[in-house]
Chains A and B, each alone.
Chain A
Amino acid sequence: MEMMRKERIDRGIKVRTEGIYAISSYREILYLMGPRLLLIVGVLVLPLFLELAPYWKRVVNIMFVYSLLALAFDFLANYVGLVCLGGAFFVGVGGYLSAIFNVYLHLPIYLSIPLATILGAFFCTLTVMPCLPLRGVYFAIVTLMYPLLATRVIEALNILGGTNGITGVDSFPHEYVEHYAIIVFMLLFLFGMRRFVNQDIGLVIRGVKDNDQAVRASGISVTYMKTLAVFIASFMCCFGGAYIAHLYMWAGLSLFALDFSIIPIASVVIGGGGTLVGAVIGSFILVPLSEFLRFFGTFRIVIYCAALTGFIVLKSEGLMVYLQRKYHQFERWVRV
């Protein structure tokens, strides 16, 4: 019997290693820029189409926030080796800080969001720092406790509005500001991160994931690199949190809801870990899907789970990894 094997060949414009291309025509430029432009333009014109379906405006905003969280999770898990389930904690800190600045200190919205993002990232990094020596599942479990802990503390001490939360947070001045604030920053963070992980400092951070002992033996403090990575990830999440607080005009305990930790993970699984874009695409699929399934009432959880399982069984490598492979390589069957 004849044995057949699938052979994969890289397209000719790739040189030696990842990310270096030899371009000799407009067609090849388009080949490289096409997917990127498709994403950027698609995301930028999306709010215009939403005029046709006003109900989805809020959903799309939340979707972009989730894609930021997924981006942060993908970065921490697949580039630094920290499986961080504390996304909800980062979101909550960002949201509450922004509400405090806005309501208690009367800062305008264009000051409260950046301040909450930066100070929130510092606060989150400081609180996570004691667990940084932990690895793998231990780090995951401890970080999962952070949002739960924050909820209990706010409840028990009845501070920051207690169970009612902080109300009266300013909203965005215009609907389009609301849309584009998150869209522009999502794109900036996405392409910024893609660039960052291939810079020299990003390579060092990836080295920490592969072999932290060797990084130590090279005279670099592993704790410092991990701290830096957590700062970057919590920066993105705190921005998302501050945005949500102003979107809902309210900061409450639901900002610490585990949804903010779990859905990003599912997005990364669907989109393909380690691609960064995959995390974003994954949340573009999952969040609207879960919203769409609301029509089915409680039955939606079943459909949602079936869809997730389907993705994991059929495309376990992740959607984006699969698409990138199809895009960058020829495939053909050859006789063995």
Chain B
Amino acid sequence: MKDNIIISIKGITKSFGGLKALMDVSFDVYEGEIYGIIGPNGSGKTTLINCITGFIRPDSGHVSFRGHDITHMPPHRIAHMGITRTFQIMRPYYSLPAFKNLIVPLWSPRARKTGGWRGGGKHGDRDTVAVDILEEIGFERDSRVPYKLASTLPTGYQKRLELARCIALRPEIIFCDEVFSGLSMSEIASMLPLIEKLKMDGITLIMVEHRLRELFRVADRVMALNFGEKIAEGYYSEVIEDKRVKEAYLGSEEV
């Protein structure tokens, strides 16, 4: 499994005016692993995800997915290939009930191509599949929760909905942009098995996180960013002991 690179990022550079947001960031992710990206505020984590998923055009560098160059593709074509993402700022489709939120990915060309919207069976409708997926991700099926308007859901459920929207697409890679932030400890504790279940299903997860302790419980490998530069990569025990990572988070020891 280790030699099976699913997505390879080479030398991504992006600057906004004079600000260098990303400088020559490269990394490879293997199929089926959970890859963490950490870094202090403003270190370019979200910009990196935006560059990879096509929401921002990188100035230079290449992204290749299973050998196909996807660098300058529009976001919906990248998503169609099976690379999807959550958003740091949760914005569900407010005017729709929670389960109707999943109709959008279930209607997409990718779901129709893979037959994902039928939910395994030959016949089926998207509403049933949507409620199935929500149940899988922790919405109680027989309660009112899946049928409430998305805007009235509590934060924890909105985060789950964000993830459910990705799962409904039957993706190969999910970029999770801070899925744990803003959640209580117990909510995170109930999210972790979910993340591991996705991994068992063979989905590659790339997680951007602030919550290091929770991330380290699930991540196979971790990369650290600081001021747009990759400063460390490897198993979390190595990364957390790295001098430059400590400096980035705690400041340097010399005064």
Interface residues of A (CB under 8 A from B): 16-18, 200-201, 203-204, 206-207, 209-211, 213-222
Contacts and interface: CB of A to CB of B under 8 A. Distances in A.
A218 B55 contact: no
B68 to A, nearest CB: 15
Contact of B107 (A16, A201, A222): A201
Interface in B69-88: 74-77, 79-80, 84-85, 87
A226 to B, nearest CB: 13
B94 interface: yes
Interface of B: 53, 55, 74-77, 79-80, 84-85, 87, 91-97, 100-101, 103-111, 126, 144, 147, 165-166, 168-169
Nearest to A20: B147
A235 B53 CA distance: 35
Nearest to B113: A219
Given A203-B104, A217-B79, A220-B104, A210 B109 contact: no
Contact of B169 (A16, A203, A218, A222): A218
A207 B104 contact: yes
A217 B85 CA distance: 6
B93 A217 contact: no
Given A17-B147, A204-B107, A217 B92 contact: no
Nearest to A16: B147
Given A220-B76, A221-B76, 4 more contacts: A210-B92, A217-B87, A218-B79, A219-B80
B104 A214 contact: yes
Contacts of A211: 91-93
A284 B55 CA distance: 45
B104 to A, nearest CB: 4
A206 B169 CA distance: 18
16 contacts: A17-B97, A18-B97, A200-B106, A200-B107, A206-B93, A206-B95, A206-B96, A207-B101, A210-B96, A213-B87, A215-B76, A217-B75, A218-B79, A218-B108, A219-B105, A219-B111
